[in-house]
Structure 1
């Protein structure tokens, strides 16, 4: 039997403001979080935390450089905070990462291993960013993986469809929030 955790990644005010298309993403994600809590599945929040003018981002890193230049997800700013719609409860772990993957520059692996977690349920913004990066990193670390397709969001709907429909199923179960919540709901 697996010991799972739900990862809610990069659902921060700055990122939601850029990507949320009004499709009901936040309420749907909140349903996954509520379902996990009801089933006793730990919810772990992952945030991108950059230092002002981040000296750790080199000039060749296009994606992270654009985030730094835009002043997004800078530690201590209101935009770097987790969006109120999916805010962590007291006692829930919040992990700060420094790059794309939830494992990059964070203590996520340590937190998971200390809790005996061997299976991850991935959600977050963006499908082509943190979700993709974390999926491959977690697969290399031998975690069991599930992706909640509608618990992820991307600026480009076609990229989202390609990743969740074709690429992610190669190493993860890809299901909807409703399907997953129905499978983990207490009897």
Structure 2
């Protein structure tokens, strides 16, 4: 049986403010988090944090350069805090990454390997950002993958639909929060 972890990625105040469309995203994500905890599945939070002065940002990186221009992601700024509606609990691990993938510039792989985790359940904002990048890298690292389609969000609904409906199913099981909760809840 696989050792699962639920990754809650980039659900930070500034990112939620930009992307949340009022569709009930945070309550759905909260249900997934609560369900994971009830099933004793570790919840690992991943946040993007850049050092003051942003020495890890190259002008060749279009996404990070635009974020820096907008003043996003500086460690210690209130906007980089995890959104309070899904805040970590005592014992939850919080990993700081420096780029798109949850693995980039972080110790996520070490945290997962030490715990014997070989299966990841992905959630986060944005579907075309952290979720896509993490899915690709996690697949290359031989993790078994599940994406909770309605616990991912993107500022472009069409891109979200293409990724979760056409691309992600090639590499992962793509399910809804409710279907995943049914699968992890003992009958």
In structure 1, stretches of 5+ residues that fail to align are none
Distance 1:185 1:71 in 2: 41
Aligned to 2:69: 69
Structure 2, unpaired ranges of 5+: none
Spell out, residue by residue over 1:50-100, the C-alpha distance to the aligned partner (whole angstroms, 9 max, x if none): 112312111111101111111112100110000001100011000000000
Matched residue count:
187
Report the counterpart of residue 114 of structure 1 in structure 2: 114
Q: Which TM-score applies when normalising by structure 2? A: 0.99
Separation in 1, partners of 2:59, 2:171: 32
**Alignment match, 1:143:** 143
Q: Deviations over 1:97-146 (max 9, x none)?
A: 00000000000000000000000000000000000000000000000000
Given that residues 4 and 118 in structure 1 are in contact (C-alpha distance below 8 angstroms), is that contact kept between their aligned partners in structure 2?
yes
Superposed structure 1 runs of 4+ greater than 4 Å apart: none
1:167 match: 167
CA RMSD of superposed structures (Å): 0.6
Local SS of the residue matching 1:105: coil
**Secondary structure in 2 aligned to 1:15?**
helix
